[in-house]
Structure 1
C-alpha cells in the first residue's frame, strides 16, 4: 500500500483567448484590471513582492515567485490553511493566446478548498474574458 498523504492536487484551467499575450498580461498584472475580474490587490509584477487579494469574504496572502513578462507569472496563494501556488502561462497561438492557469498544492483533506477553487477560477476566467473584450 502506498502512502498518499503527501500527494497534492491541482486545479488547471486552459483557454484559447483571441487576444495577444501583451493584453492578457496587462489584465493579469495591473491592479485596477485585476480588481475587475479577480479581487482588489496591491499586486506588483516584481519577484518577492508580498501582496494581498481582498474580497468581502476575507483575504489571500500572496508573494510573487516568478515573473517573465507576457509569458509566465507565478505567486503563492495562502488563505485559510491552504498554501498553494498559482501559475499563469501565456503561449502565443495563431488565433491569439493559449492561457493556462494552475493552482497547485491542495492536500487530500482540502476537498472544500479544491472544489471552491475549481468553481471560483471558472468564474474568474469568464470575468477575465469580459474585461479583455472591453479594454484597449
Structure 2
C-alpha cells in the first residue's frame, strides 16, 4: 500500500504598522483603497462573496471571501488558473490584525503552495513584501 502525502507551504509576512486596526481594516476591505496597494477588484467584505483581483500584468485571480471579523481577521481564496501546474495556484490568504501599543501587528499568510511551485512561492514572498510596502504608503496618506 502506498500513501501519498501532499505537503503544502505557506508564505508568511509580518510587520508592525503605526496605525490603528480600524484604519488598516479600511485599507484591507474597501475596493478603491485595495486597488491602491493590491490590485483592481470587485471585493465586498461578505463571507461567500466571489470577486476577482486583476493584476497589472493582465492576470486574473478568482477569489471568494471565507472569513470576515472586522478589525481582526480577513480570509479569502486566491486562485490563479494557469496551463503550467508550476504556476497554477489554489491558495488561501489570511490577514490577522492584532492591536499593539503603537498601532497594529499585521500577519499575512498565503497557504497552499505545493513543493514543485518554487517560483510561485518565491514570487508570493516578494509580492507580499511589495504589496505591504504599498499599503504602508497608502496608510500614511489616509486620514
SS class of match (1:101)? strand
Cα distance, 1:55 vs. partner? Answer: 1.5
For residues 10-29 of structure 1, what are the structure 2 equivalents within 5 Å?
A: 10-29=10-29
- Say how many residue pairs are matched: 134
Runs of 5+ consecutive residues of structure 1 not aligned to the other structure: none
The answer on 1:70 being equivalent to 2:71 is yes
1:12·1:103 contact (CA, 8 Å) conserved in 2?
A: yes
SS class of match (1:61)? strand
The answer on 1:97 being equivalent to 2:104 is yes
- Label 1:109 to 1:21 Cα distance change in 2 as closer, same or farther (>3 A): same
Cα distance, 1:56 vs. partner? Answer: 2.6
1:5·1:108 contact (CA, 8 Å) conserved in 2?
A: no
CA distance in 1, matches of 2:140, 2:93: 23
CA distance in 2, matches of 1:63, 1:4: 28
CA RMSD of aligned residues (A): 1.1
Question: Normalized against structure 2, the TM-score is what?
Answer: 0.91
